[in-house]
Amino acid sequence: MKKVVFNLLGATLLTASAVGNAAAPVVDARDISAVQQQQTSQQSQIMAELIMQVNQLQQEVRQLRGQVEQQDYRIKQLTQQQRELYLDLDRRLQGGAALSTSETEELSSDASDKADTGSGNQAQQAYNQAFSLFNEQKYPQAKTAFKDFVRNHAKDPLVSNAHYLLGQLHFSDKEYSEAESQFTAVYEQFPDTSIKDKAMLKLAQVQELKGDKAAAKATYQQVSNLFPNTTAGRLAKAKLDTL
């Protein structure tokens, strides 16, 4: 029995010794270096691609910034040109009693339309005579004729035009209080008239010339808000920038 135990113990010790003396796996240093070189190469390639992408994005940003700056400059340039054109038109409108082409056409067209909707023949003739005197630049006679028309045909739809033209005549003669009263009558007595925006713009110009800049600014703002897409509305907006 002891001999069997000793034999088993000896076999166990020999097995343990053989396992302990087994050679460790051998790793070639060249394989490690190759792996490291491959990893370094991949990282360098990735970095190079990232740098290239960053440079490309920066270039695109610079180009876009340049385009935005050019467009911004062009918009400012066009805005300034438009503003100067409107201010020039404003100066010409203040230069005398003569109407602009659009005003003449609208007042003539408006007169025809109102004649078709019931203006009496006598009222139409009286208005036409006064308007002819105005177009012929016979301003004192036109002023008298329009005043007679307003007095004699107070309920006629053409009275709104007469008030506007009287305002223009008083404006030209620097009779600003009378002009203010006439332009105000246009849109207060005839709120649906097609020349409401022009009358309000003229009123603002009168207020400005009288030195009442606060009232002028308020009226310009009202015209700009109510009629943003008309010439009068755009002129009012341009004037607001100068007050």
Residue range 61-72, pLDDT digits in tens: 988 888 888 777
Q: What's the confidence (pLDDT) of residue 16?
A: 47
Confidence grade of residue 10 (pLDDT, cut at 50, 70, 90): low
Confidence grade of residue 19 (pLDDT, cut at 50, 70, 90): very low
Is pTM beyond 0.85? Reply is no
Same domain, 118 and 225: yes
Distance (Å, whole) CA 37 – CA 42: 9
In a domain, 176, yes or no: yes
Q: Distance from CA of residue 163 to its chain's centroid? A: 34
Same domain, 71 and 106: no
Q: What is the span of the domain harbouring residue 204?
A: 101-240
Nearest residue to 93 via CA among 209, 218, 241, 192 = 209
Domain boundary pick from 93, 116, 146: 93
- Please tell me which residue, 11 or 194, carries the higher pLDDT value: 194
CATH number at residue 182: 1.25.40.10
Q: What's the confidence (pLDDT) of residue 134?
A: 93
In a domain, 11, yes or no: no
Phi/psi region, residue 28 (left: phi>0; alpha: psi -120 to 50; beta: rest), is beta
Same domain, 56 and 170: no
Q: pLDDT of 111-137, one tens digit each? A: 555 554 555 688 999 999 999 999 999
In a domain, 24, yes or no: no
In a domain, 143, yes or no: yes
Confidence grade of residue 102 (pLDDT, cut at 50, 70, 90): low
Number of domains in the chain: 2
In a domain, 28, yes or no: no
Same domain, 127 and 191: yes
Same domain, 82 and 136: no
Same domain, 123 and 211: yes
CB-neighbour burial class of residue 128 (10 A; exposed 0-12, middle 13-18, buried 19+) = middle
